[in-house]
Amino acid sequence: MQYAKLLDVDETLVDALWERVKDSSGFYSIGDGVTKHVFRRELFQSNYVFDIGDGIARLNDHISYFELHPIIFGHSVLRNAKQILGEIGLFVSKPIHCIIPRELDSLKRLAKKAEMVYERTLTRSLSGNLVTCDVYIWRQENVEP
């Protein structure tokens, strides 16, 4: 696989990633990174964690879909979004959902570049804060050959 490499989650990975995100603010920090303990738990509880070049992506298994949680550090993810998600999709047999806070237009553009399709709006509690989010979905059958 050229764009998404499966990672083993261990303390070294947690420490290295935490150093990169610990001073982040906004939606990321109230979701995954409010504390190192929460960040560590989220990584270890993920079904899959991928190195996607300038970032990581983790997947959590739900009954009828996988939920995608990307952490983006650089621009190569933008250039290769479609290929990255296509490779991640090889690991799952269910649709992939990405729940994006409404204010994060750049992440919505990234979802569209990856051929995700807007499905609905919902309100999600992130560390006790209610946030309006848009749900984007990727299904293998929606990808053109």
Encode pLDDT of 106-126 as tens digits.
Answer: 889 889 999 999 999 999 887
The answer on pLDDT for 127 being more than 80 is no
Mean pLDDT in residue range 46-52: 96
**pLDDT (0 to 100) of residue 1:** 85
Separation of CA 66 from chain center:
10
**pLDDT (0 to 100) of residue 36:** 85
Structural domain of residue 70, as residue ranges?
5-142
The answer on pLDDT for 26 being more than 50 is yes
The answer on pLDDT for 143 being more than 90 is no
The answer on pLDDT for 145 being more than 70 is no
**pLDDT (0 to 100) of residue 76:** 83
Mean pLDDT in residue range 18-23: 84
More confident residue, 24 or 134: 134
Tell me the whole-structure pTM to 2 decimals: 0.87
User: What average pLDDT does the chain have?
Assistant: 87
Mean pLDDT in residue range 12-40: 77
Give the torsion through C-alpha atoms of 17, 19, 23, 27, to 10 deg.
10
CATH number of the domain residue 34 falls in: 3.40.630.30
More confident residue, 29 or 126: 126
23/54 Cα distance (integer angstroms) = 18
112/136 Cα distance (integer angstroms) = 8
What's the domain count of the chain?
1
Q: Report the b/e string of 68-93 with b at 16+ CB within 10 A.
A: bbbbbeeeebeebbbebbbbbbeebe
% of the chain with per-residue pLDDT over 90: 54
